Amino acid sequence: MRLLIVEDEPDLRRQLQRTLTDAGYAVDVAADGEDGQFLGETEPYDAVVLDLGLPKVDGVTVLERWRAAGRDFPVLILTARDRWSEKVAGFDAGADDYLTKPFHSEELLARLRALLRRAAGHATPALECGDLRLDTRAARVSVDGEPIKLTSHEYKVLAYMMHHQGRVIPRTELVEHIYDQDFDRDSNTIEVFIGRLRKKIGQDRIVTERGLGYRLVEAVTGA
């Protein structure tokens, strides 16, 4: 899953990027509203963390412009503790949730997990496809109760597919959502990750739709 952080305070921006990267997300950052608005309009993010007190273009205006442009990704706004009016303005502009500064990293991660689940139509933190289970809280995967060890990129591919199971996902879409903007992307590596995942979770769980992409399905009974 790929996230955007728009935050002008350097230390907090680095902290947020490190926290979210360590949690297994691909993360892009912007230091002002102008750059943040551009990235949000041109890149396919799964969710955005948006500070409201930004230079060049304020966060509320950025959010209003995103929504006017049809960008519907979940947005978590960051506000100062005593600025309740900012929260109201943020929600009215199209925000999905808010977090007041200072905050604990665990709460940030929990709120983002909830936003990502709801955006994909899932109600619980554990995503399931048959006996394949992915716990988004602990970043753990199991098949029929047995834990499966994945590399970071294998996990990112599977997590994205679990959030969008049943849908055909083009290879280019996977590339866009598991790598950040600065990563040297190679779409051919997706085939490698898919091959490794099949060996670990079962060959019949990821179906190749020729010319279209990949689809995650429940394992065929008795296969």
Reduced to 3 states (helix: H, G, I; strand: E, B; else coil), residue 168 is coil
What the block records as the tokens of 161 is 């597919």
What tens digit of pLDDT does each residue of 142-199 get? 999 999 999 999 999 999 999 998 899 999 999 999 988 766 666 678 899 999 999 9
Report the amino acid identity of residue 13: R
- Residue 223 is predicted with a pLDDT of 39
Tell me the pairing of strands 140-143 and 132-135: antiparallel
What tens digit of pLDDT does each residue of 78-96 get? 988 667 788 888 899 999 9
Q: What is the pTM of this model?
A: 0.86
- Residue 222 is predicted with a pLDDT of 43
β-sheet with 97-101: strand ranges across: 26-30, 2-6, 47-51, 75-80, 97-101
| Domains of the chain with CATH codes | 2-119 (3.40.50.2300), 126-216 (1.10.10.10)
In the block, tokens 């394992």 appear at: 219
pLDDT band at 120 (very low <50, low <70, confident <90, very high): confident
* Range of 44-58, 174-188, 209-223 with top mean pLDDT: 44-58
- Residue 154 is predicted with a pLDDT of 94
In the block, tokens 């085939």 appear at: 191
- Residue 186 is predicted with a pLDDT of 67
Q: Name every residue whose Cβ is closer than 8 Å to that of residue 146 and which is 6 or more positions away in sequence.
A: none
11: alpha, beta or left? (left if phi > 0; alpha if psi -120 to 50)? alpha
User: Beta partners for 204?
Assistant: none
Rounded CA-CA distance 18/48 in Å is 15
